[in-house]
Amino acid sequence: MRKIREVLRLVWSCDLSQRKAGRASSVARTVVGEYLERAESAGLDWAGVQEMDDDALEAALYPATEPVSTKPVADDWPRVHAELRKRKSLTLMLLWLEYTQRSEGGYSYSRYCELYQAWRSTIDLPMRQDHRAGERLFVDYAGETVPVTDPATGEVRQAEVFVAVLGASNYTFVEATWSQDLRDWTGSHIRTLEFFGGCPQFVIPDNLKSGVKSPCWYDPEMNPTYQELATHYGVAVLPARVRKPRDKAKVETGVQITERWILARLRNRTFFSLSELNLAIRQELEELNNRPFQKLPGTRRSAFVEIDQPALRAMPASRFELASWKKARVNIDYHVEVDGHYYSVPYQLVREQIEVRLTDRVVEMLHRRRRVASHPRSRQKGRHSTVVEHMPRNHREHVEWTPERLVRWASESGRNVELVVEQILSSRPHPEQGFRPCLGIMRLGKSYGVDRLDAACQRALSTGAVRYRSIQSILKNGLDREPLVVEPDRTPITHSNVRGGQYFGEGGEA
């Protein structure tokens, strides 16, 4: 009675709304409404309540009801319970109205609700919770692990057991994974949704680090990859409170049932691979989902088909691709190091901190939540992946000059120019060392014309002076306009009567 008095005082004396009064007195707004409705039905006001003791107030608010035996048979409570879970818009008021049409002189609405609540308290705890169709999916790991033996070495490795339960139907999914890390955690979610064939509205996980980076009831910080998965499938993640198992009682019971009806049955079997273990789990899971309820009609499977399956939202067109995130700082060469490989970003971001999103195929860079670069992922350590558009203008122009491009340009100016460029590039230990003289020759063509440049290159080839300074001097002095004197062929004569240099020995004397 103390709680009821406090609620009535806050609403009638302090003029608080029902919601604020509920918060101040730590009761739900619906309970506040019920208290007020009973008090108004009893014709009470705050002045009268102050003068009443607890017994008188209780008698006024909760008058004695008629004996149950004088009333007709109650409604079909299992059917009522199933319909309430199946349709979000359905209320006990509508079901009571339908009941009164079928049963003349039946129970009042308040008594109808009391009888339903009394029946609901007799069934199993997981079924007592109110979960709408397709609304909530509860996920967790079992406390027990399953040993898997390596057939080659005999080493025994413990496999984790992931459990997921739909709130309304109790339809269950179970699988074994090697760990509880991010890859296995998200992978189990993907396979769970594919097993159900649709997406619920909410996912209720425990505060596992793979899913919840920083637990907080009011504002939890999600793991970026887990949040990305939730966005991809259009679900909202509502982590349970820390050390509050009742927040996820469905999956707590699901874990217990999994350990008793699946893992206990497999305790004497030896498994040599994770796939073999999951095949055995799937067979036991099929039997579990088809086992009849003890106090409700049907099975988990039939309840899923009737209640949850029609309410689940459609799966996205593509499967979620697992991605990991890391922070990195852009080096002065506008590249970011990721697993030993270097990826370019726009040079304006030098020394800025960015986020890197990694998948098996793609590396994406984001700055202030905006994507600034994307590269195919490379496994080559110490190598660079560079996009030309990310480079400063002077770097870009330098990179664009290649030996092939220089030779291609030279061929457009004349055959002799092409031969000069090829000879300059091939005469250097590294072709890049010949870029500057070749670029200088290009500028000579702009000043003197391509015809004179080709003639100058021809003279340089004939004299063996294939250098930028030589060609510049030929053009400057007009030697390219003078006739080119071709020296006679001085090929050595080979004859039996002609003595060679070896005749004279190393000293050159006979």
Overall average pLDDT of the 180-193 stretch: 91
pLDDT value at 282 more than 70: yes
- Looking at residue 81, what is its pLDDT? 81
Q: Indicate the pLDDT class of residue 159, thresholds 50, 70 and 90.
A: very high
Give the percent of the chain with pLDDT over 90.
25
Q: Indicate the pLDDT class of residue 324, thresholds 50, 70 and 90.
A: confident
- Looking at residue 200, what is its pLDDT? 92
pLDDT value at 127 more than 60: no
pLDDT value at 101 more than 90: no
Overall average pLDDT of the 128-153 stretch: 85
- 106-120, 135-149, 160-174, 362-376: the lowest-pLDDT one: 106-120
Exposure on the CB side of residue 133, measured as CA atoms within 13 A: 21
Give the percent of the chain with pLDDT over 70.
85
pLDDT tens for each residue of 8-29: 887 887 788 888 877 877 788 8
DSSP per-residue string spanning 373-399: EEEE----TT-EE--GGGS-HHHHHHH
Q: Which residue has the higher pLDDT, 510 or 76?
A: 76
- Looking at residue 244, what is its pLDDT? 67
251/141 Cα distance (integer angstroms): 9
DSSP symbol at 69: G
Q: Rounded mean pLDDT of the chain?
A: 82
- Looking at residue 210, what is its pLDDT? 74
pLDDT value at 233 more than 60: yes
pLDDT value at 361 more than 50: yes
282/49 Cα distance (integer angstroms): 61
Overall average pLDDT of the 476-493 stretch: 72
Exposure on the CB side of residue 380, measured as CA atoms within 13 A: 7
Q: Indicate the pLDDT class of residue 92, thresholds 50, 70 and 90.
A: confident
DSSP symbol at 241: P
271/235 Cα distance (integer angstroms): 35
Quote the Cα angle for 122-123-129, to 5°.
110
Q: Indicate the pLDDT class of residue 508, thresholds 50, 70 and 90.
A: very low
pLDDT value at 176 more than 90: yes
- Looking at residue 126, what is its pLDDT? 43
Q: Indicate the pLDDT class of residue 353, thresholds 50, 70 and 90.
A: very high
